[in-house]
Structure 1
């Protein structure tokens, strides 16, 4: 569950909205007057609530049902997630850098050839240029593949149909083999671990896609308290130097690189909504058996320029 270290009028309003309560009903729930609730909401972040009120709001949040807690967590992180970032607009406007793939229609961006700093020890590594999906493969993308090929749908789709509410969320419950079937259909490939890492860290090897600050609010990790996937375009303030989204958090992403040759385990990168923020650094290593599937594992694709 999301915890609030400092309740202001803004957090109080977000909690009321998440609970879907009227002002009077919310005031009664918290044990204050309607006039006081109006004052909090009118003052917003400029008013910090007294300890008794903060404790009351903590209790209301703790006693809320799971759906309301998830709505509150999403509202709480929304501003940081959508923070204006000129890099996104500039990079996605550049016709020379981005293009739509002819098969699955996804926007891809160019990662130029050259050296980048790789791994926890920042080794210099040369990579040829490649294109990478700006967003992870969504349920909507995967539905096109299922419709075109008759491939089995993920188990979380009711009746084998893509849920409208999850259309723009990353597809999950896919094995490495499922991801490989998709890329064969799309005439693309899964990224190598090094391609994925360069797309996330840029040529200068920054620790996180957005820079050097370990800011959990810029990605969907366990600390956000959302406890579910989010739309792939949500975290605009967390994009990489190439304008690539969700390279920290939301879902782990399959890569084509084996952990050790022949052992059937493949690298996973980026962490997920289930993972603590300290697992989100793109330089970190993780791997799983090719048959593994879970509610926090998806993929994105690369191709030749």
Structure 2
């Protein structure tokens, strides 16, 4: 088994089915009272709308420093400044890679897609094995795919349900103050079994910052377009309001800091 294959996360098959994306306009006053800010600060999440996306696969956990280091060693991406060198410290190997730009996340996906001899474990939401596609095309998830994988079909507020639990996610309330390794919060997994989609590290998506309703054909998924890109999930330094499945954040694709990471998606067609 190759080193790359050993380091690849498990991928979960997300079926093509209708799901609810975004926040109902009727909820934004309650969000402002509960989490702070104004009604208008939640307007970007509205209106809630129903989408049906093609099936895809998403990594069960964020991308690790150890896997990212393979691309660094091959010259495909630069080392994150947080490493303070060309390899991650041993204590960071299993933790999510951070301090990377959107462009570097995209370059990693392109590099990984070019590697030969890879095999991966793909499962359905019930944990049963699924045959991977013959050609492995890795990429960032769109923000719609990310939200579907995080909240399932019923529009729930957090991956596990409507009520926040500080021991289900790595947010400010838990006091960890650093990224967590895979498997730390199994109770916080999404309806599809995807973990760490609330808190831990912000995750770059492929999508440009555009208004709702989400439309995949309106240019927001153009990888060559300029503009801010959407991040999802919140991080360990943020309070629980940022860990909501519908919460949107955006930054210029050149930005990097210790809170920004990534999660792989995989085409199934």
Any residues of structure 2 matched to 1:164-203 within 5 Å, and which? Answer: 164-187=90-113, 188-203=138-153
Q: Aligned equivalents of 2:172 and 2:145: distance in 1?
A: 26
Any residues of structure 2 matched to 1:218-229 within 5 Å, and which? Answer: 218-229=168-179
Whether 2:109 is the aligned partner of 1:146: answer: no
Structure 2 unmatched ranges of 5 or more? 25-47, 114-137, 211-219
Whether 2:10 is the aligned partner of 1:107: answer: yes
Structure of greater relative contact order (alpha carbons < 8 Å, 6+ residues apart): 2
**Length, aligned pairs only:** 205
Q: Aligned equivalents of 1:103 and 1:164: distance in 2?
A: 17
Q: Aligned equivalents of 2:140 and 2:161: distance in 1?
A: 25
- Cα offset for 1:228? 1.2
Whether 2:255 is the aligned partner of 1:295: answer: no
- Cα offset for 1:103? 9.9
Equivalent position of 1:210 in the other structure: 160
Q: Aligned equivalents of 1:159 and 1:136: distance in 2?
A: 22
Equivalent position of 1:119 in the other structure: 22
Equivalent position of 1:268 in the other structure: 231
Q: Aligned equivalents of 1:150 and 1:279: distance in 2?
A: 32
Structure 1 unmatched ranges of 5 or more? 1-100
Q: Could you state the TM-score of these two structures normalised by the residue count of structure 2?
A: 0.72
Indicate if the aligned counterparts of 1:103 and 1:186 stay in contact, CA closer than 8 A.
no
Runs of at least 4 residues off by over 4 Å: 101-104
Whether 2:144 is the aligned partner of 1:241: answer: no
For residues 16-71 of structure 1, the C-alpha deviation after alignment (integer angstroms, 9 at most, x for no partner) is: xxxxxxxxxxxxxxxxxxxxxxxxxxxxxxxxxxxxxxxxxxxxxxxxxxxxxxxx
Secondary structure, in 3 states, of the residue corresponding to 1:124? strand
Partner of residue 245 from structure 2, selected from 245, 259, 282: 282
Q: Aligned equivalents of 2:5 and 2:75: distance in 1?
A: 17
- Cα offset for 1:183? 0.6
Equivalent position of 1:155 in the other structure: 81
Indicate if the aligned counterparts of 2:7 and 2:66 stay in contact, CA closer than 8 A.
no
Indicate if the aligned counterparts of 2:172 and 2:239 stay in contact, CA closer than 8 A.
yes
Any residues of structure 2 matched to 1:67-106 within 5 Å, and which? Answer: 105-106=8-9
Q: Which has the higher helix share?
A: 1
Q: 1:153 to 1:211 in 2, by over 3 A?
A: same
Indicate if the aligned counterparts of 2:72 and 2:86 stay in contact, CA closer than 8 A.
no
Indicate if the aligned counterparts of 1:137 and 1:170 stay in contact, CA closer than 8 A.
yes
- Cα offset for 1:124? 1.1
Q: 1:112 to 1:102 in 2, by over 3 A?
A: farther
